Amino acid sequence: MIDDTAGPEAPVLSEGGHVFRDLNKNGELDAYEDSRLPIETRVDDLLQKMTLEEKAGLMFHPAIGMGAEGQLLEEPGPMNPIPTSEYLYEKKINHFNLYHIAPLKKTAEWYNRLQKMAERSRLGIPVTISSDPRHSFSDTLGASLFTEGFSHWPEQLGLAAAGDEAMVEQFGDMARQEYMAIGIRVALHPMADLATEPRWARCNGTFGEDAALSAKMTAAYIRGFQGEELGPTSVACMTKHFPGGGPQKDGEDAHFAYGKDQVYPGDNFDYHLIPFDAAFEAKTAQIMPYYGRPLGLDLEEVGFGYNKDVVTSLLREKYGFDGVVCTDWGLVNDVVVNGEVLFPARAWGAEDLSAAGRVRKIIEAGCDQFGGEFCPELIVELVNSGELSEERLDQSVRRLLRDKFRLGLFNDPYVDVQAAESIAGREDFVAAGELAQRRSMVLLKNGDSASGTVLPLRGKPRLYVENLAPELAGRYGQVVDTPEEADFAILRLQTPYEKREGFLDGLFHAGDLDFKGPDLAHIMEVCGKVPTIVDIYLDRPAVIPEITAQSIALIADFGAADSAVLDVIFGQFSPTGRLPFELPSSMEAVRAQKEDLPCDSENPLFPYGFGLSYS
């Protein structure tokens, strides 16, 4: 653990803890420290003061961890592979991705300790902290992180199902404030990808398969986090995954070698760019390319982060994007734990290059920063050997510094620890998230021709429940132990997936989308004994013809608490959501559809945009 003693490059501290740094001969601050000057002037001044090693360090963006009480970690661990002080003082790194955290007040304390450590470096460049989404119910390392103490909202899919741009912008504004309360200033989201391949494990992070809807939602999301212009009250959005990660071959994910290929059998590459057009109009600060390598196009068949055709020719030149481009995580080096490769580098199409060769190719492609990596010495070696120019580094460093200045980090990087818990999880934020959960739910079936509508339920019926808190259900009806005793059963289900071997593989929901074997048999058994209401969490488009036929009512949610589900079932909230993707009728239809085309499975069970209501 690091205390508040000075680091190895510590200048003199003021009584308040801030550094009186780099006074010139006239006793004045250097230009980059002077908030009265234009940002470009400050960037120019700082850039010319930086060493090659400091520039290289700025171009890396690894994960960082903290102790349970908010300590800075000096012992290596899974989330902190090297000591915190080595990150800052030896590697010169000052961008970090935060995964699992301490309680919010402790996290705010950790953040301030980290900024104090950074302030004691030679130039005092403040730290920028980033995060994956933290406001939905899913918890998958590298994709989305459920966070206690924050307001809880549906997934991006649910925001799309609600279809309200104003609500999405409100979400972004509230999430921005909660992020800022604990020091997070870069959102590694939104996902502007399109869920045109229903088996893809990342569907839940998208706004669905329709490009026009996704474009509207993406722009609103960015406005909520950033405002009209990036500034001291903004959280910068790193919109991903350019140029669209949805068309994964056979639905496999490009985190893994077996999913490294993106294909376009419908010749629909440009369709996937439409949401990014909206992101650029909304002035997204940063962009992340995906891992996948495009096949069958007039593009080099290497991963998008390595791909000069995509990053320079398309993103930089055609779209004119001059913001930060950060690779997805882990393109250069294998992650090795106890002598074994836990995650191989996602160097698709560049597997035969050395680590230094991969770094050079990524920079030459037009990227500015390496997500999940911490090897700035490779850049130093490439410049010293003449394989890269320092002038090329300056282009990237300028973009990275510009965002730190625009976010106001050089003026005051610290957070108010006492305010962290009062801002995060504020009552109105929580209420807005709960309302969004209810607005996102989609009523797919309500009774049949023989019985008429069933929902909303009335009175205090006897209820048999599964995967739903009995004590909560008891507020709405009388909970019984068996289906035979019940007037209705309520089953909460999740979209099926194939459990994969491997640590990260096992966390991703991939493969077939239909219920099979004992799982399906049990659901059918309950439906055969009592009128059954099914709520299914759709993180991907489930294939549920049997459940649709046998249930008496069917609801889809995209991240919702039990209370939200029960409120809809009992009519305390009337459902208004619409499906953000179609639900296929069979796995045969899924396998026959084309990965890059929206809404193209044969005879879908429920079409895109479907949704019933009580009125």
CA torsion 445-446-449-453 (nearest 10°) is -170
Domain membership flag for residue 373:
no
Q: Is the pLDDT of residue 410 over 60?
A: yes
Is residue 586 very low, low, confident or very high in pLDDT (cuts 50, 70, 90)? very high
3-state secondary structure (DSSP) of residue 433:
helix
Q: How many domains does the chain have?
A: 1
**Before 243, cis peptide (omega within 30)?**
yes
pLDDT at residue number 12? 36
Lowest mean pLDDT: which of 103-112, 488-497, 505-514, 554-563?
505-514
Q: Is the pLDDT of residue 538 over 50?
A: yes
The active-site residue out of 164, 253, 261, 328 is 328
Domain membership flag for residue 559:
yes
Q: What percent of the chain has pLDDT over 90?
A: 86
Identify the domain containing residue 551 by its residue range. 441-592
- Mean pLDDT to the nearest integer, 173-189: 97
pLDDT at residue number 255? 94
Q: Is the pLDDT of residue 78 over 80?
A: no
pLDDT at residue number 140? 57
- Mean pLDDT to the nearest integer, 50-60: 98
Q: List pLDDT tens digits, range 477-526.
A: 999 999 999 999 999 999 999 998 877 888 889 999 999 999 999 999 99
Separation between Cα atoms, residue 472 and residue 465, nearest integer Å: 11
Q: Is the pLDDT of residue 143 over 70?
A: no
pLDDT at residue number 21? 47
Q: Is the pLDDT of residue 261 over 90?
A: yes
Q: Which residues does 475 contact at the CB level (< 8 Å), separation at least 6?
A: 566
Domain membership flag for residue 518:
yes
Domain membership flag for residue 562:
yes
Q: List pLDDT tens digits, range 230-243.
A: 999 999 999 999 99
Domain membership flag for residue 54:
no
- Mean pLDDT to the nearest integer, 380-402: 98
pLDDT at residue number 13? 35
Domain membership flag for residue 539:
yes
Question: Between residues 112 and 77, which one has the greater pLDDT?
Answer: 112
Q: Is the pLDDT of residue 8 over 70?
A: no
CB atoms closer than 10 angstroms to residue 442:
28
How does 32-67 read in b/e, with b if 16+ C-beta sit within 10 Å? bbeeeeebeebbbbbbeebeeebbbbbbbbbbbbbb
Please state, in angstroms and as integers, the Cα–Cα distance from residue 205 to each residue in 134, 157, 194, 247, following that order. 12, 7, 9, 14
Mean residue pLDDT of the chain comes to 93
Domain membership flag for residue 95:
no
- Mean pLDDT to the nearest integer, 264-271: 98
Query: Is 328 a residue of the active site?
Result: yes
Judge residue 377's burial from the number of C-beta atoms within 10 Å of its C-beta, 0-12 exposed, 13-18 middle, 19 or more buried. middle
The DSSP annotation for 317-345 comes to IIS---SEEBPPS-SSS-EEETTEEEE--
| Residue found under tokens 């960082």 | 64
Q: List pLDDT tens digits, range 346-374.
A: 999 999 999 999 999 999 999 999 999 99
CATH number at residue 467: 3.40.50.1700
Domain membership flag for residue 397:
no
Q: Is the pLDDT of residue 562 over 90?
A: yes
Instruction: Read off the tokens for 511.
Output: 């493969």
Question: Between residues 339 and 230, which one has the greater pLDDT?
Answer: 230
- Mean pLDDT to the nearest integer, 309-325: 98
pLDDT at residue number 26? 54
